[in-house]
A and B are shown apart, each in its own frame.
Chain A
């Protein structure tokens, strides 16, 4: 039980990742539409995400597969990373 909690606590929303950090995507928890849209833009499990700016409270800039993208904060909260 304790182990599971530790394991889970490492998975966190992308919105909490600090500027400059690089993380790995675990999964996207959103509706099917957004899920599939993000997948087509490269948000698939295991992919490396570099947070260029966590412009609190505004949108969010990341680099995935060498492509710079901006996400709304709502989206960043639905993307879970490690």
Chain B
């Protein structure tokens, strides 16, 4: 038997995700919709012998054609024709939440309402006559409490029954008043005769309704000009009568229908009190306190992530080190096995270097999930919006950018909290400019080599500041060019504060962690192997290595390899930046992971890897000026995000194009800026 396909829709903050987690447990699959950055979540479950596939659609307030999320949700409901649509409604805010429901009623889909958070509604003193309301809405209503695990069975029963009945015509539906109904009937008639296919697929009344709303997507599907003319005439007529856009009048009528239905069936037994949420909000969104509180919380997030993450990270590092040694031990000492080198230096070192960040990533997403589930995230966006708005980003963009100081990979994953596609892409593009922890290893090699102790702090600060300034400028430029379009006007709900449930927080954290591990196991593994290959082949002739010690042999081998040759080949191009082929080679190697720069440089200077940073610093001092040192830091800061970042950008934007754009864009930017700094600097 085919599984029952169920679409889950609902307003943001309706508790849809926790209900989805409750229904499907861990049987979930998270991906993206083709071509867009919107998250696609699917989950499976079996109930009374029926297999069901649940699709969690993006949270929306309505199903118009104005935003990416709404279009995705609408297309799924209309074109994929799920067997049942479950509308998750926040039972303590029925009126606004049912607006989406009225649009589903208009679509004529088999519908079930989940009145979620019904415990909260009860506490607020709301009493429902669900039988009566269900008759008015012509759909089953099931009270649920997603985060406490209540109502799952009843909801699944209702879904199965509704699926069995299939699509059935509505008895009353929504009535929009005489004038609108007249025009609807006119347009509907011509749609039925001229646009038979469309009418069969979506229902002629719905098509007519959307034409009167001047819905861009439906208008675009109309083949005959007569239909559009008829619709335009009706729109003009209605506009004249109501002195407002028909779209707004229709919205008004939908609310009218809802408040009519609610008046008959919902009793409010308690006056709404000044609740705890208002008190907390008065403090955390306070004009003076809001920003310091937010910064303090963010500091706490970082501190937690990197101190608690420190120990498991060391354990993992030790584990990979042990694994490397153990695998090496399978070959006799001094053997020159290529397989050994591939396994130890390529795969274990490459993947290990990324996987060690897993504890940090899990912790970070644990804390973010908690901030999101409590409702604080909306307040943080509110607090930061004034600043972020100036560079064309949303207040929430600040959080991923901040995480970027730790590591770009989780930062890019964290952009999922941004609903708007353009905002999200812009944020992803500039995240690598936030100087990550791995780049710190480069700075801590170079700064002590070239700068007097008194200057070390300010130089480091300057590098970070340049990154931030560039991110701000780039975001602004991107929003004016590539990601052009009106900045989403800022309208956002401040949901009441809630206690996060361990279950949903853990599921959230685990999904992110798993996604990261999968990346490490596939793309990052592949690229590590390629980079290992490029750094190891071709091998120099054995006689050239004769008589050299290990370090010198490594140096000669690297020089002879593809990376070494590319380093030499690009030397003329990077000479104007003050770089020689050695720095070039190290920079290319650093694409694997930024900290590889240090180990590659120590190989080309044959100072031996390990803790011999001082020896390397002496070599650097002897060969380069402080200006070159600064330029190296500048270039590493801006250019060529590491492979893990590229892989994550590809995954989150769903296209290699954006990943390539980010990679080349940042590299060109780095080249330009370093060129100017070096050329100007060396003439002063």
Contact = CB atoms under 8 A, between A and B. Distances in A.
Contacts of A31: 486
Interface string A27-58: 11011111111111110111100001101001
A39 to B, nearest CB: 4
Contacts of A41: 61, 96, 491, 493
8 contacts: A36-B64, A36-B247, A40-B64, A58-B386, A59-B385, A68-B494, A70-B382, A71-B491
B245 A32 contact: yes
B93 interface: yes
A67 B96 contact: yes
Given A44-B251, A66-B93, A34 B489 contact: yes
A57 B272 CA distance: 29
User: By CB atoms of chain B within 10 A, which of A30, A38, A42 has the most?
Assistant: A42
B95 A65 contact: yes
B247 A35 contact: yes
A28 B248 CA distance: 9
Given A38-B491, A45-B252, A59 B386 contact: yes
A27 B61 CA distance: 19
Interface string B156-198: 0000000000000000000000000000000000000000000
A75 B489 contact: yes
Interface in B255-308: 255, 272, 277-278, 281, 285, 287
B251 A40 contact: yes
A3 to B, nearest CB: 18
A70 B552 CA distance: 64
A18 interface: no
A40 B252 contact: no
Contact of B490 (A64, A68, A72): A72
A2 interface: no
Contact of A36 (B66, B255, B386): B66
B426 to A, nearest CB: 18
Contact of B255 (A30, A42, A69): A42
A67 B93 contact: yes
Contacts of B382: 59, 70
Given A40-B62, A58-B287, A45 B96 contact: no
Contacts of B489: 30, 34, 37, 72, 74-75
A68 B277 contact: yes
Sort chain B's interface into a size bin: 35 or more
B490 A39 contact: no
Contacts of A53: 285
User: By CB atoms of chain A within 10 A, which of B244, B245, B255, B491 has the most?
Assistant: B491
Nearest to B492: A70
Contacts of A40: 61-62, 64, 99-100, 251
A61 interface: yes
B41 interface: no
A56 to B, nearest CB: 9
Contacts of B456: none
Interface of A: 27-28, 30-42, 44-47, 52-53, 55, 58-59, 61, 64-72, 74-75
A32 B495 CA distance: 26
B389 interface: yes
A43 B486 CA distance: 21
Closest 3 CB pairs of A and B: A72-B490, A40-B62, A39-B251
Contacts of A58: 287, 386
B490 A75 contact: yes
A27 B247 CA distance: 13
Nearest to A74: B489
A50 to B, nearest CB: 11
Contacts of A52: 278
Contacts of B92: 66
Given A33-B486, A36-B62, A74-B489, 16 more contacts: A27-B244, A36-B64, A36-B248, A37-B66, A40-B62, A45-B248, A58-B287, A58-B386, A66-B92, A68-B277, A68-B494, A68-B496, A69-B492, A69-B494, A70-B382, A72-B489
A52 B61 CA distance: 22
B88 to A, nearest CB: 16
Contacts of B93: 65-67
A58 B96 CA distance: 26
A68 B493 contact: yes
A64 B491 CA distance: 12
A54 to B, nearest CB: 11
B244 A61 contact: no
A78 to B, nearest CB: 8
Contacts of B494: 61, 68-70
Contacts of A65: 93, 95-96
A60 to B, nearest CB: 9
A28 B247 CA distance: 12
A52 B247 CA distance: 28
Interface string B229-250: 0000000000000001101100
B217 to A, nearest CB: 13
B579 to A, nearest CB: 46
Interface string B470-497: 0000000000000000100111111110
B493 A69 contact: yes
Contacts of A38: 491
Contact of B281 (A34, A36, A37, A68): A68
A67 to B, nearest CB: 6
A38 B244 CA distance: 15
B376 to A, nearest CB: 13
Contacts of A46: 252
Contacts of A70: 285, 378, 382, 490-492, 494
Nearest to A55: B287
Interface string B84-101: 000000001101100110
A69 B491 contact: yes
B96 A42 contact: yes
A67 B97 CA distance: 10
A74 B492 contact: no
A66 B272 contact: yes
A49 B64 CA distance: 24
